[in-house]
Amino acid sequence: MPKRTKAEAEATREALLDAAEVIFLERGVSRTSLEQIARQAGMTRGAVYWHFKNKSDLFHAMLDRVKMPLRQLLDDVEDPERPRAPLESLRLATLHALARLQRPRSRRVHTILFHCCESSSDVDILDLHQKLSDECFETMVERFQEAHRTGTLVESVEPEIACRMLMSMFLGLMHDWLRGPDRYDIGEIGPRIIDTFFERITLYPTAGIGTSSAPTESSGSVQ
């Protein structure tokens, strides 16, 4: 029954993307044909070619439905007008990114990105990750540098190294957990890892990280 209303057309588009997520996940991107995606959505290849130029286009559209967590992380760091201690801000952002990752769609798409698609096949994952990673590093390292200046970051820990440690840990944790999400509860392990990391590199002038009563002064710029 062709030709639905405009809303229905949009619904089939979403259904196609949903289907793509499922099939990409279980067959891998390169091994899934557009017909498999169409059938999973209850359509035919014609519908796919109407809404998307080709598989690569569909893939990008699928990615666009989930904001990348690393980018979202940065946005949430900047979030309120209320300035936090830089390390605390980074910690919360990381935890938030971890929480986002557990949402079904985000989890599926990132699993596909990490484990079910090749670099130079249908989409240039390399550049995609590259830009995100670089942008993420540049923004986060400023926080670490500020923490280092203000003495919140343990002095023997270089800001650039701390930043790469955090990013590597997060990346590695994603990679490992998404490989087999049922092996352990990321909602429990993840925060413990993040918190332990920040606990080990943070110098507390007065109180601890605890819940949120982190001290935000220590304005004695050491230099």
What, of a second copy, DNA, none, does residue 27 touch, CB below 5 to 8 Å by kind? a second copy
- 6 binds DNA per the rule CB under 7 A: yes
Residue 107 binds to DNA (criterion: CB under 7 A): no
Residue 34 interacts, among DNA, a second copy, none and using kind-specific CB cut-offs from 5 to 8 Å, with: DNA
Question: Which does residue 33 bind out of DNA, a second copy, none, counting CB within 5 to 8 angstroms by kind?
Answer: DNA
Tell which positions 31-50 bind DNA, by CB under 7 A: 33-36, 38, 43-47, 49-50
Tell me which of a second copy, DNA, none is bound by residue 121, counting a contact when its beta carbon lies within the kind-specific cut-off of 5 to 8 angstroms: a second copy
Q: Which residues contact a second copy by CB under 8 A? A: 26-31, 115-121, 125-126, 129-130, 133, 154, 156-158, 161-162, 164-165, 167-173, 175-176, 179-180, 189, 192-193, 196-197, 199-201, 203-204, 207-210, 212, 214, 218, 220, 222-223
Least Cβ distance, residue 206 to a second copy (angstroms): 10
Contacts for 63 with CB less than 8 Å, ≥ 6 apart: 109, 113, 123, 128
Name the residues that contact DNA, by CB under 7 A. 1-6, 8-9, 12-13, 33-36, 38, 43-47, 49-51, 54-55
